[in-house]
Chain A
Amino acid sequence: MPAIQNRPIQNRYEFVYLFDVTNGNPNGDPDAGNLPRLDPETNKGLVTDVCLKRKIRNFAALSRDGEPRYGIYVQEGAILNEKHRAAYAAARPGDETVAASPKLSPKSDEEERAVRQFMCDNFFDVRSFGAVMGTKINCGQVRGPVQMSFAQSVEPILPLEISITRMAATSIAEKEKAKGDGEAAGGDERSDNRTMGRKHVVPYGLYRSHGYISASLAGKTGFDEDDLGLLWTALEQMFDHDRSAARGEMAGRKLFLFRHDSALGNAPAHRLFDLVDVKRRFQGEDYELDGPGTGNLPPARRFADYAVSVASDRVPAGVTLIEKF
């Protein structure tokens, strides 16, 4: 059963989130053989919104595992069923008729609302990002308050292709083939069992993502201050729990929040985003990104090669700037 709920958040928020990658692939492009995603016109790297949401979900699942209000509906990988709770469910029969019924649509306003409410109360991801609960006839839809855009690297990135070898073959057939090739090439014993592979990495990339949180939609899903806190923690720590051979070193670097005094907001989002400025830093001097002369600078390879500033003196009235980290 859902825990006691807090009040949904009452303020609109926008956030600017900066994260970086070192010698890793932040988000592979399935269309391009898992190369890092690129904007083909500017060569700037991209990380999709769904990629970041996946990591937020994973972090929430990890940090609030088993807590009643913090289920994650869209799970990744293995399903770890809690068997004792399955038994508990089996002890409560009476739902068979419902499951077998061909008509799946909610029959009334109240039922539709109850179903939606149940999903919001139990699942953090439904409460934050929304979900489509579809049936043949009717759609109960939940639109979540948290909206994220594509993250884009602040400068063009250069994806590298790294060839790697494995000192083993997958199958006997592959081994035989390798042996044949090896003999043809001069009979190097060691090449017998080798398999070549490829890895795509970005040597360094600083990515910037923009997010929006609507208080009006939060009121409908019950997204509260605790959820907000979990979201910020996730953005701070999620890469620490997403280590893998492909990702390299990724880290959340900066998170700027703009809290509006009202639910509808007190300033246009784009004007707030403009307050956060990233510049190239080289030998203590800051250069405008894409400005003249930056092409002559050596490529950025660490976070210290960038200067992040926020014009806190130009924050409009009714908006509070919070530098989370």
Chain B
Amino acid sequence: MSYGVKLHVWGERACFTRPEMKVERVSYDVMTPSAARGILEAIHWKPSIRWIVDAIHVLKPIRFQSIRRNEVGSRIPAAAVRKAMKAGAVHDLRMDAAENRQQRAATLLVDVAYVIEAHFELTDRAGEGDTPAKHISMFNRRATDGQCFHQPCFGTREFPAHFSLVEGAPPPSELTGDDRERDLGWMLLDIAHERDSRIGNQHCCTPNCTPLFFRAGLRNGVLAVPPPESVEVRS
């Protein structure tokens, strides 16, 4: 038995980057289940539970905007850090932003609002005291009071998500006519992370992590999400 929650989330901008277009980011039309899970986890999560998104209600018309920013193109090499640790000095450990400059455009969503319908399941790491009732009440209390582990975001951290718990019926969708029924093509459901025993069974991206896709479509403004284990989900 699982308990469901409904969370209303909204914000000025969002970028749910399509994996096939992530150098110059292009957002999906609608929040991905994976991003929705991230929002729920920002409010409440323990290793003993696993959030599963059931549906995403799209409340606002889907609109895009483009923005180009100066970004840096490289990551911090771990070996350089190790070298600095051994040397006991950090003077060579820095990145020159001007030399690593990359200008990248992003195609963002503007003025978004969704209702996330989700439930959680207990995982094999649940202990004695991990009852579903405890977790559901923790989540509901935090969502009602505006508490969170960190401020949830829409895809990337510069686009914060505001949230409130929905009790009863979700707010009406502003989508009109044809927009309510739309085929969204193949969409990322989530990434099946492999737990890495070397680093304490944490989420950790390795080449073995598998992206899962599903055929997404709006039905009356609602994106139904199949369970991650179902046959509709391809990897």
Chain A contacts to B: CB under 8 angstroms: 1, 29-31, 37, 39-41, 46, 48-50, 54, 71-77, 79, 81-82, 85-86, 88-89, 92, 94-95, 98-99, 101, 104-109, 111-112, 114-115, 118-119, 122-123, 131-135, 137-140, 143, 145, 147-150, 152, 210, 212, 214, 216-217, 262, 264-271
- Which 4 pairs show the lowest CB-CB distances between chains A and B? A268-B146, A134-B75, A214-B150, A31-B68
CB neighbours (8 Å) of A270 from chain B are: 146, 162
Is B158 a contact partner of A49 (Cβ separation < 8 A)?
A: yes
Q: How many residues of B contact A (CB 8 A)?
A: 61
CB neighbours (8 Å) of A29 from chain B are: 67-68
Is A134 a contact partner of B96 (Cβ separation < 8 A)?
A: no
CB neighbours (8 Å) of B92 from chain A are: 81, 86, 89
Q: Is B21 an interface residue (CB 8 A)?
A: no
Is A149 a contact partner of B199 (Cβ separation < 8 A)?
A: no
Residue of B whose beta carbon sits closest to that of A139: B205
| Bound: A98/B196 CA distance, A | 23
A18 to chain B, nearest CB (A): 17
CB neighbours (8 Å) of A101 from chain B are: 79
Q: Is the interface of A mostly helix, strand, loop or mixed?
A: mixed
Q: Is the interface of B mostly helix, strand, loop or mixed?
A: mixed
| Bound: A225/B208 CA distance, A | 40
Is B95 a contact partner of A73 (Cβ separation < 8 A)?
A: yes
Residue of B whose beta carbon sits closest to that of A212: B151
CB neighbours (8 Å) of A150 from chain B are: 12-13, 158-159
A97 to chain B, nearest CB (A): 10
Residue of A whose beta carbon sits closest to that of B160: A149
Q: Is B83 an interface residue (CB 8 A)?
A: yes
Q: Which one of B97-105, B175-183, B221-229 is at the interface?
A: B97-105
CB neighbours (8 Å) of A98 from chain B are: 79, 82-83, 86
